[in-house]
Chain A
Amino acid sequence: MRPIDVLSPDVVEIAAAHAADVDERSRFPSEALAALKQARALSDAVPREYGGRGFGMQELAAQCSTLAHGCSAAGMILAMHHIQVACIARHSAESPYFQSFLKRIAQEQLLIASVTSEVGTFGDTRSSVAAVERKGDRFELNKDATTISYGAHADALLVTCRRNPDAAASDQVLVLVNKDSYELEQSSSWNTLGMRGTCSPGFMMRSHGSVEQIVPGAFADSSAQTMVPYSHILWAALWQGIAGAAVARAAHQVRGEARKKPGTVPPTAIQLAKIDAQLQSIRHNWQSLAAEFDTLGTSAEDLQALLGMGWALKLNNLKVSVSEAVVQIVHQALQITGIMGYKNDSPVSVGRHYRDVLSASLMISNERIASKNASMLLVFKADST
């Protein structure tokens, strides 16, 4: 799949042109988002019958990777938006409310943010303190979120919470809340090492709405069948895109050195060859899992497979291995570019890329994932692979 088939080069160019300023000022990549809306990319995960382009996992991942090559924050925002849209499209297809909401995403190019983190759950997305409180056909939902990426810039939020005030912490549902019926009170700052343009401070969220805005079914299922696969594959793809941008800068410098002495291969070219191989390996890693995901349909059997440990382990392995590899790749790109790469204002600067990829092992901590995998491997026999 060629990048040009999934995202207009103009969008990437606009995102790249503002990436340094977005990072420096820790501001929302508004130019990139305007370009994405112009290209109608915010409905690329919306099924065709509702006016979107119905992209599969491979296309969405390629798109996130391509955009992140220009601007990490824009790539992450697009990925997170697609993840929310996929949760709605794959788990609310029977609901007239959500059918019309999917049409609105396409018509109005709405941006959807995610509210999964919460004070008191210690990073475990599969447990909640907040609960949706039904009163007749209305609900109230308040949540003390530790982080809401681009929360202040979104048109709607998809929120995890307990099914009712008596429900267990892990008995969760997803609730969609619209901008005209929620309030966000910022509770912390977002002055971070990297991924500064995602603008992800904490917020106290207060919302209300109609009960039809509660996504049917259990979040336990939509998490395993959609949120986790889309997150891990799209994130892996965008992290590879960031690493790819650092490698491209290193390659630019190596070519410059080679031109000065035609006939001799600069020592840095050997280092470049090595990280080029590593980059290919992680690209193939997400591409292969995305292709495998796209062979699954929405039959009961296929959805059942996504609930199994085989898929959970594969997706976790992808997330952990790519998030570790990108840091090593960007580190080597810095060794190749040397002081020029270390400078923040040189054409081959890789400092921003380095800081951005350091977030990868922290977004759902690799330690937590390793511990889950360790536990699953105690009962998983790999007897069908």
Chain B
Amino acid sequence: MNNNSSALKNNAAGAEDRTVANRIRAVLAAHGRLSVDVAGLSETDDLYAAGMTSLASVNVMLALEGEFDVEFPDQMLNRSMFSSVAAIEAAVRKIVG
């Protein structure tokens, strides 16, 4: 497992100014298959209520692992860990330390 804290600092092109939350939102926009615009969701809005299916959530997990260069341990791979932007951010920060 890669517990490299530099993963939070820069990754995708021009990432210097991108906050973790914005990178999570970009992943959600690309892979979450939400029925609403991700920009209109608050940090704590329920992503499942916004239309994310369990299958789409797996793609979000995969894309987050790629974006932050981390591996989520199995006990984190459940609905509640990926239920909102804030929950995902907490999970990402927990892994990268």
Contact between A309 and B50, CB atoms less than 8 A apart:
no
Q: Does B39 count as interface, using CB distance less than 8 angstroms? A: no
Contact pick for B75, options A224, A308, A372, CB 8 Å: A308
Question: Per-position contact with A for B47-88: 1 when CB-CB < 8 Å, else 0?
Answer: 011111111001101100100000111110111100000000
CA distance A310 to B74 in the complex (A): 7
Q: Which of A241-278 contact B (CB under 8 A)?
A: none
**B35 within 8 Å of A (CB atoms):** yes
Does A379 contact B58, Cβ atoms closer than 8 Å? yes
Q: Which of A346-385 contact B (CB under 8 A)?
A: 372, 375-376, 378-384
Collect the chain A residues with CB atoms within 8 Å of residue B54's CB. 126, 170, 220, 372
Interface size on A, residues (CB 8 A): 27
Contact B74 A382 (CB under 8 A): yes
Decide if A34 is an interface residue (CB 8 Å cutoff): no
Given A382-B74, A383-B74, check contact A307 B53 (CB 8 Å): no
Chain B residues with CB below 8 A from A310, complex form: 74
Docked Cα-Cα span, A171 to B53, in Å, equals 9
Segment 110-147 of A: residues with Cβ below 8 Å from B: 126-127
The A-B contact count (CB < 8 A) is 63
Whether B79 contacts A307 by the Cβ 8 Å rule is yes
Query: Across the interface, which residues of B come within 8 angstroms of A376, CB to CB?
Result: 58
Contact A167 B49 (CB under 8 A): yes
The minimal Cβ–Cβ distance linking A341 to chain B, given in whole angstroms, is 42
Contact indicator A307/B80 (Cβ below 8 Å): yes
Please, which residues of chain A bring their CB within 8 A of the CB of B55? 372, 375
Give the residue name and chain of the A residue nearest to B64 (CB): A379
Q: How far is the CB of A130 from chain B (nearest CB, A)?
A: 17
Q: Is the interface of A mostly helix, strand, loop or mixed?
A: loop
A172: nearest residue on chain B (CB-CB)?
B48
The verdict on A168 contacting chain B, using a C-beta distance below 8 Å, is yes
CB of A288 within 8 A of chain B?
Answer: no
Report chain A residues within 8 Å CB of B77.
308-309, 379-380
Q: How far is the CB of B79 from chain A (nearest CB, A)?
A: 5
A379/B51 in contact, CB under 8 A? no
Complex: A221 Cα to B65 Cα, angstroms? 25
Given contacts A375-B58, A381-B71, is CB(A304)–CB(B53) below 8 Å? Answer: no
Q: In the complex, which of the residues A218, A224, A372, A384 contacts B74, with contact meaning CB atoms closer than 8 Å?
A: A384
Cα distance A379–B72 when bound, in Å? 8
| A373 → chain B closest CB, angstroms | 11
User: Is A169's beta carbon under 8 Å from chain B?
Assistant: yes
| 8 Å CB interface, A152-169 against B | 163, 167-169
A251 to chain B, nearest CB (A): 43
Residue among A168, A218, A308, A375 making CB contact with B51, cutoff 8 Å? A168
B residues less than 8 Å from A163 (CB atoms): 49
Cβ A168 vs Cβ B75 within 8 A: no
Give chain B residues whose Cβ lies under 8 Å from the Cβ of A224. 79
**Bound: A49/B82 CA distance, A:** 36
Task: Say yes or no: B62 contacts A379, CB within 8 Å.
Answer: yes
Compute how far the CA of A375 lies from the CA of B72 in the bound complex, rounded to whole angstroms: 15
A383 CA to B72 CA, complexed, in Å: 10
- CA of A309 to CA of B52 in the docked complex: distance in angstroms? 17
Q: Are A308 and B74 in contact (CB under 8 A)?
A: yes
Interchain nearest-CB distance for A118 vs B (Å):
16
CB <8 Å contact, B51 and A384? no
Interface contact A171-B49, CB-CB below 8 Å:
yes
What are the residues of chain A within 8 A of B75 when measuring CB–CB? 308, 384
Contact A383 B73 (CB under 8 A): yes
Do B74 and A220 have beta carbons less than 8 Å apart?
A: no
Q: Are A168 and B74 in contact (CB under 8 A)?
A: no
B79–A381 touching, CB < 8 Å: no
Whole-angstrom distance between the Cβ of A219 and the nearest chain B Cβ: 11
Enumerate chain B residues within 8 angstroms of A168, measured Cβ to Cβ.
Answer: 35, 48-51
- Cβ–Cβ < 8 Å partners of B61 in chain A: 379
Mind listing 12 A-B residue pairs with CB under 8 Å?
A126-B53, A168-B51, A169-B51, A170-B48, A170-B54, A221-B79, A308-B78, A310-B74, A372-B54, A379-B61, A379-B72, A383-B73
User: Hey, which bits of chain B sit against chain A, CB under 8 A?
Assistant: 35, 48-55, 58-59, 61-62, 65, 71-75, 77-80
Interface residues of A (CB under 8 A from B): 126-127, 163, 167-171, 218, 220-221, 224, 304, 307-310, 372, 375-376, 378-384
6 closest residue pairs by CB, A with B: A168-B51, A307-B78, A308-B78, A379-B61, A375-B58, A309-B77
